[in-house]
Amino acid sequence: MEESRKKSKTIGSLLGIFGFIALVAGATYAWLTWRSNNIIIAGSTECFDVVYYRKDLGTVENPAMLKFMTNYNRDNLNQVVENPQYAEVGLSLDPRCTNVSGLGKLYLTTNVSTDDILLTGGLYYTLVKVENSTETFIKDGPITTEGDILLQDNIFVSSTTGDTKYRVYIWINGPITTDQNYVGASYVGEIRAEVVSREDNTPPVTAADYITNLYTEANKSPATVNGITYSLASDVGLMRDQFGSSSSASNTGNLRYYGADPNNYVWLGDTYTSDITFPGNEREGIPDIVRQAGDKKLWRIVGIFDGRLKLVTADPISTTNLSWDTSANTTGGNSGFGINQWGPSGTYEGADLMKLLNPGFESGSVNNSLYWNKGTGTVYTGGNNTTTSNVSFSNTGLTSNERSLIDIATWYTGAYDQFSYADAHYTAERGTMSGKAACTQGTTNCDDTVTRTNTWNGKVGLISASDYGYAANLAQCNQTLDNYYETGCTDTDWLDIRRVYLTLSPRAHSGYAYRVFRVNIDGDLGFDSAYFGLVVRPAVLLKSGVIIDTNGKDGSFEHPYVLS
């Protein structure tokens, strides 16, 4: 019918959430309480109704409360819903025309009247999909800026599938925040959606769903390492990581690609203008020229984490080796060797490499968001703030299309003081050990005053040590990561590129506060001082709902998947 071919969007204003902070007598934490008013709970389109609802709003005298939590309780959703201590809002996308389908987008919008203190990293959202009263976790993340956060893209709705329902919870990340930071603050926001009609009633395939189906439909075989039995689908090079725990239910965890060269190449629609040569530290028999699939700049899929694809660049981004961090050779600067703290902490802006890879540092003169903006400039390359000028990222930097697909994510930066199996590194990265845990403040090599944090909210990071460990074929590699040079490990680990390159993971080391883990040239995990210039391969998490094009493509180097 003609109406089904019209492009339609929602109209009207939506939900406003108004909140304030109040101290609870006798409580350890301050609680963010909230109430809402002036609510319009219905919007319409030509072929779709977008119906908004709110739950457990409370009253002015007794408002609902946002609880301080370590994370959203995904394992006990029903109990949380029955005893809400968070803000909950939601919507349903309801098609009202026959023979019609559409693609929807869901946004969380933070309004300008929100107090700035709330946007420092402690306020979080969680998105879940609701089907027959059952919630499925989609994603979560920090609310750190005003304006729109795209929660979900390419939501398929049609006259045959019925309504599609989502809920958005807003809560406080207790370990990140403190009581004093939030007292007296207020949050104002809304959720909104839009739907565009389409002629094709076939739902698009998201990359996460496609890859998950590859794994689900493949034959599995077990591999036991360090007391954990993993399920490996060797035909498609995919495995579950059991969340790094032997207590996790069978065949659970993040989905990861593993093996010598799995079909996990993807292209985001951007091109190189020339090949790039990386001479120097390659192992014997490995060519200097970095391979390119025609004129395509390729990424590789690390895996699926909370419904989002994690990617790493197939190749390094510069022929110039880059410092993870460096510092001045003065007291408080770790003798010029850098600081193993990736994100901001207090007045410390964060690691130098973080500022090179991410937006927001354009006003600086060194490492000033050059990779993010495809720029050319000066970068840090050694101890005591050593720099190299005229370094170009015009070929390897992020294009506008790539930037549009990258999501803000929580990256785990807990340190570890030893080498172990992949699962132990995974647990440590999500733990509380500091990168200067073994240091005595005021002594040589421990003299910086920067407080280490265990998470970072941002867009571009690096692979973790555990990512490298889980990329090997665990059916052939039963080793700690420092022994991955052994046959069966390095030759079955696709993240080994025969070059020494950096990871995101800090190394807690006796007497030093500037160590970070690296991948060695022989394929094992090692560590180095943060200032030491090494190869860099950025990693990102894409927004949920990214669509995959598999027509004539199998994820190989020659025929990479196309994401949009």
What is the mean predicted confidence (pLDDT) over 188-196?
71
Which of 91-105, 116-130, 201-215, 380-394 is the least confident region? 91-105
More confident residue, 272 or 324: 324
DSSP 274-343: S--B--SSPPTT--SBPP-BTTEEEEEEEEEETTEEEEEESS-S-SS-B-S----SSTTTGGGT-----S
pLDDT at 304 over 90: yes
According to the model, what pLDDT value does residue 179 have? 53
According to the model, what pLDDT value does residue 175 have? 55
Cβ atoms of 482 and 446 closer than 8 Å: no
According to the model, what pLDDT value does residue 47 have? 62
Cβ atoms of 357 and 463 closer than 8 Å: no
359 — pLDDT class (breaks 50, 70, 90): very high
The overall average pLDDT reported for the chain is: 77
528 — pLDDT class (breaks 50, 70, 90): very high
Write down the pTM of the prediction: 0.72
Put the strands of the sheet holding 188-198 in their side by side order. Answer: 64-66, 30-35, 17-23, 188-198, 101-110, 147-158
Burial 165-200 (b: 16+ CB within 10 A, else e): bbbbbbbbbbebbebeebeebbbbbbbbbbbebbee
According to the model, what pLDDT value does residue 375 have? 92
Domains of the chain, residue spans: 2-198, 207-317+543-563, 334-536
Taking the CA atoms of 26, 30, 31 and 33 in sequence, report the sign of the dihedral they define.
positive
What is the mean predicted confidence (pLDDT) over 330-342?
76
According to the model, what pLDDT value does residue 486 have? 92
What is the mean predicted confidence (pLDDT) over 492-517?
91
pLDDT at 197 over 50: yes
Q: Above pLDDT 70, what percent of the chain?
A: 70
According to the model, what pLDDT value does residue 511 have? 79
Q: What angle do CA 193, 198, 200 make, to 5 degrees?
A: 135
User: Beta-carbon neighbour count of residue 328 at 10 Å?
Assistant: 13
According to the model, what pLDDT value does residue 2 have? 25
What is the mean predicted confidence (pLDDT) over 362-387?
93
According to the model, what pLDDT value does residue 14 have? 32
pLDDT at 112 over 60: yes
Give the C-alpha separation, 537 to 318, whole Å: 9
Which of 64-78, 232-246, 525-539 is the least confident region? 64-78
Strands of 383-459, DSSP E:
386-392, 409-412, 455-458
520 — pLDDT class (breaks 50, 70, 90): very high
More confident residue, 448 or 321: 321
More confident residue, 293 or 353: 353
More confident residue, 78 or 360: 360
Residue 420: how many CA atoms within 13 Å on its side-chain side? 16
What is the mean predicted confidence (pLDDT) over 155-159?
72
More confident residue, 286 or 431: 431
According to the model, what pLDDT value does residue 439 have? 78
What is the mean predicted confidence (pLDDT) over 145-150?
82
Under DSSP, the state recorded for 474 is T
Q: Above pLDDT 90, what percent of the chain?
A: 42
According to the model, what pLDDT value does residue 350 have? 94
According to the model, what pLDDT value does residue 109 have? 79
What are the beta bridge partners of residue 162? 158
What is the mean predicted confidence (pLDDT) over 162-166?
70
Cβ atoms of 518 and 321 closer than 8 Å: no
Q: Which of 289, 291, 324 has the alpha carbon at shortest distance from 501?
A: 324
Cβ atoms of 88 and 56 closer than 8 Å: yes
